[in-house]
Amino acid sequence: MTKDLPLTEWDHPESKQLDSLSPLEIVHLMNRQDRLVVDAIERVADAVAEAISIVTDRLRRSGRLIYVGAGTSGRLGVLDASECPPTFSTPPEMVVGVIAGGNTALTRAIEGAEDDMDAAVADLEPLDIQPNDVLVGIATSGSTPYVVSAIRFAASRGAETIGIACTEGSMLAECAQHMICLLVGPEILSGSTRLKAGTATKMVLNMISTGAMVGLGKTYGNRMVDLKPTNAKLKRRSVRLVSDICGVDADIASELLAQCDGEVKTAIVVHLGKCNADAARDALAKSNGQLRRALEQFTAIVHEDTV
């Protein structure tokens, strides 16, 4: 297969007899290939870290993180965006996922959607993109017209733009202000970028959103203290977090949460800072939501071993 094609379309030398392999041989082959993903990300660690810093800065300025992609890339962006509100208690408009073809494309392919450059602009217009926003365009081939158009449109509105692709020298790299190239190599099923390319993309999106949320104070140590208890599992987790960090039993943790409208960070500050909910919220506001910094306002009471 010609090397003029994007790296994601190259023929993989180890899978030429893929249809002759046993299930176990397929598992071993895919597992060997998936190990390459970690190394590919490590090679662009600086670029991923830069993306985290950019996103954190924009979100601090009340901007938004907007993912745009088509097919698997679009679904991964929507998935990452949809997981931020329950995990980090973010408003749904803070992290947004846009997929070519709209919501229908989440479950089935929409013919020609990834090639429609005008649709990208039409889909982004209602978002009223502002200079404080950052748009992450995801296109494993680096050439998806819908994504390239979205990057150009966002840039024209003054937003920061980041591209994610699994090849080098792409059109996306020419348009995006910042680029993350995940060179995972050809897929064992030629062109099926839901495999290694999709895995690498998912891992990097995890890093970007998680890293940004850590920067925004959504965590304390390695605990998700800014979660929104929207179901029974998360309510139990909220109680466990307050119990563990404050060193109290579940009943007291539940009482603290009840006093604080279910806000985990507020409940922790109330107990460890020996203050009321309003004072706790004020301390958190002054600390830009950073629980550790809020607790430092009560240093006579709080000790490092509470985490």
Tens digit of each residue's pLDDT (9 = 90 or more) over 132-150 = 999 999 999 999 999 999 9
- Identify whether residues 143 and 24 lie together within a single domain: yes
- Identify whether residues 206 and 240 lie together within a single domain: no
- Identify whether residues 236 and 196 lie together within a single domain: no
Q: What is the mean pLDDT of residues 108-116?
A: 89
User: What CATH number does the domain containing 280 carry?
Assistant: 1.10.8.1080
In a domain, 226, yes or no: no
In a domain, 153, yes or no: yes
In a domain, 142, yes or no: yes
Amino acid sitting at position 66: I
> Looking at residue 22, what is its pLDDT?
96
Q: What is the mean pLDDT of residues 236-254?
A: 96
- Identify whether residues 47 and 194 lie together within a single domain: yes
> Looking at residue 1, what is its pLDDT?
46
- Identify whether residues 112 and 164 lie together within a single domain: yes
Q: Which residues are catalytic?
A: 83, 114
pLDDT class of 15 with cuts at 50, 70, 90: confident
Among 190, 215, 240, the domain-final residue is 215
The span from the CA of 260 to the CA of 147, in Å, is 43
Beta pairing, strands 160-165 & 178-181: parallel
Tell whether the model's pLDDT for residue 192 goes beyond 90: no
The span from the CA of 133 to the CA of 59, in Å, is 8
User: What CATH number does the domain containing 142 carry?
Assistant: 3.40.50.10490
- Identify whether residues 208 and 274 lie together within a single domain: no
In a domain, 123, yes or no: yes
Among 171, 188, 215, the domain-final residue is 215
pTM of the predicted protein model: 0.88
Q: What is the mean pLDDT of residues 73-92?
A: 93
Q: How many CB atoms lie within 10 A of CB 28?
A: 12
The span from the CA of 12 to the CA of 189, in Å, is 8
Contacts of 278 (CB under 8 A, 6+ apart): none
- Identify whether residues 59 and 116 lie together within a single domain: yes
Residue 60: exposure state from Cβ atoms within 10 A (0-12, 13-18, ≥19):
middle
In a domain, 1, yes or no: no
- Identify whether residues 157 and 14 lie together within a single domain: yes
Sign of CA dihedral 294, 298, 299, 303: negative
In a domain, 166, yes or no: yes
Among 215, 246, 272, the domain-final residue is 215
Helix ranges, the chain (H): 23-43, 45-60, 71-88, 117-124, 145-156, 171-175, 196-215, 232-246, 250-259, 264-273, 277-286, 291-295
Q: What is the mean pLDDT of residues 142-164?
A: 97
Q: What is the mean pLDDT of residues 61-87?
A: 95
In a domain, 2, yes or no: no
In a domain, 223, yes or no: no
- Identify whether residues 175 and 256 lie together within a single domain: no
What total number of domains does the chain contain? 2
- Identify whether residues 186 and 251 lie together within a single domain: no
Average pLDDT, the chain: 92
According to DSSP, residue 166 is labeled S
| Host domain of residue 169 | 7-215
- Maximum average pLDDT range among 87-91, 162-166, 214-218: 162-166
- Identify whether residues 186 and 239 lie together within a single domain: no
> Looking at residue 266, what is its pLDDT?
95
- Identify whether residues 163 and 55 lie together within a single domain: yes
